[in-house]
Amino acid sequence: MRPARLAGVVLVGGHSTRMGRDKGRIPVAGVELWRRQLGVLMRAGARPALLSLRPRQRSFGWRGGEIRDAAADAGPLGGVAAALAAAPAPLVAVLAVDLPHIDAAWFRRLGRRCRPGCGAVVRGPLGYEPLAAIYPREAAALCVARLRAGRLSLQSLLSALVRQGRMAVLPMRMGDGARLANWNTREDAGY
């Protein structure tokens, strides 16, 4: 995917309640997760790569750009909506900070299925993986409408985007389940 076509955003705005500390600041091999995830997106060709924080969350100091969730306490949809509104590219790679096994190859695979006005997402037995997906900028209006209506489910959003022809769906492959394991607790992170 050409860099001019793809922006990226790492969602770091969660409260990390079960983890007991900010997930983005957990070091992995000496690198904090937020930096690791930005690196994944940049290696996949995302320019710019931004951080999406909740309102009033302490800055990470990322000079590449930080944006604030479109609505307080709206979960990941607030970050996705903010990213689509702010991104200067037609496609936006979205990556949650707590998916430390996703790599640039994941987004390159998705990028091969994108086309103008259409992003890509993986679907497995439990549904879509909305937090490691590429969204088209055209999804912004639907995100805002759902925020206003209090409809915060990303699964429902993705179902609507698929029906509209705005998202290509890729099947889950062997090994993808392990790549999608997220870190919600200290045990998940191994400390």
Question: Alpha carbon of 136 to those of 85, 94, 114, 120, 168: distances in Å?
Answer: 11, 11, 9, 8, 11
Considering its fold, how many domains does the chain have in total?
Answer: 1
CA-nearest of 79, 82, 99, 61 to 178 is 99
d(CA 49, CA 12): 13
pTM of the prediction?
0.90
| pLDDT recorded at residue 1 | 44
| pLDDT recorded at residue 4 | 55
According to DSSP, residue 90 is labeled S
171 Cβ contact list (under 8 Å, min separation 6): 122, 123, 124
| pLDDT recorded at residue 140 | 96
Task: Report helix, strand or coil for 116.
Answer: coil
Candidate from 27-41, 131-145, 173-187 with smallest mean pLDDT: 173-187
Tokens of 145: 């409408």
- pLDDT bracket for residue 21 (50, 70, 90): low
Kindly report, residue by residue over 107-129, the tens digit of the pLDDT: 999 999 999 999 999 999 889 99
With b meaning 16 or more CB within 10 Å and e meaning fewer, what string describes 46-74? bbbbbbbbbeebeebebeeebbbbbbeeb
Instruction: State the Rg of the chain over Cα.
Output: 15
Range of the domain at 65: 3-189
Domain containing 94 — which CATH number? 3.90.550.10
Stated as kind and residue range, the H or E segment containing 190 is none
What average pLDDT score do residues 21-48 get? 87
Kindly report, residue by residue over 35-60, the tens digit of the pLDDT: 999 999 999 999 999 999 988 888 98
- Of 7-21, 23-37, 141-155, 169-183, the range with the highest mean pLDDT is 141-155
